[in-house]
Chains A and B, each alone.
Chain A
């Protein structure tokens, strides 16, 4: 489904180049559950933004399905994001003046979906994350965990094939963080490809496939069976 070949991304900071990614090769199949871990500044977020077509590599190729994304126009990449990709962020990024259901409706509004269908889908998505009762609440009336669940509902409202999460538990306590990850895992079990960036080994260890980044390069790419050794390890540390 996803194929990165020789992808690099260089920022120019104060005249000197910063190599955030230095030639990354990565293939991810449909329905996979991948965690991307590594120390701060290793290039995890940069990689996720490239995967989500929010950013373009300076060199290399990125194929999404059959399509080469690096030669797409901005409008084509917008369409790809709109229909195929959902994002979950560390800081939720809910629009504060809109209610939960209003936030979930937003991507469908930009897609031009008729109001009736849109509202129905938004309610379904909110019920899917267990927040049907809080649909009329604004973000400041919701806890962090609830806000992140609204964000997940928004990310999947357009029924994308890929869900990208950048430190989704970074702003949450362990209990609600664990609930959030569990929620996304359930969506993965029903076919959604899931990629989670985290520096938390307990979160990252839950994925069947664990990619480790260091200084802009992939240094490890391990596959484990579902409920593999890491879940045992995390159970031990708790």
Chain B
């Protein structure tokens, strides 16, 4: 049983005109097995929240705490956070030229498991993880995300989620850019990861369609750097119908 606890999180980014505050005090608790959906207008700070928890160097933490099972994540380096059990499926997965998917996955699995996976079982493990996401085995020999289509990148993220078995996963718009079949395939991957590892999920999305596959326990409305309303799945339906007008001041 794991708990990710975010308390009063404030985050700024450095700009030419000095630091700009993006997150203005975020409180959120995610436990194993729970699914929290975050919905909110463009630019409200959802990706900032995801990156800040994962430790992206661009973001300055100016206040608050983030702990995983009571341990301070903000003191940790990016890789330490991952080894503590955190996973971020990125909105825009990064291309890494010259590094093959298979080399990347094996290096990551070695780091996370503390020892190199046995070659015999590993090959099968990767094959079945790729098959589960309907990825052509040829992707293993391609360079990480290089030349992948938008949807292929997202499948690759969720394939890693299943393979690397974190405790808490943040999925930043994993559903964006997916065709109907890919949406189902990717969603089923998340549902499997939840069932197999009692994964806690923070799911950032603009659309309710993914929530039909991955049923949220809680829905949070995000606006102007903070959570402005919380509710159950019905809140997502209401947002889809009415938009965010009542939550944004301008």
Query: Are A and B physically bound partners?
Result: no
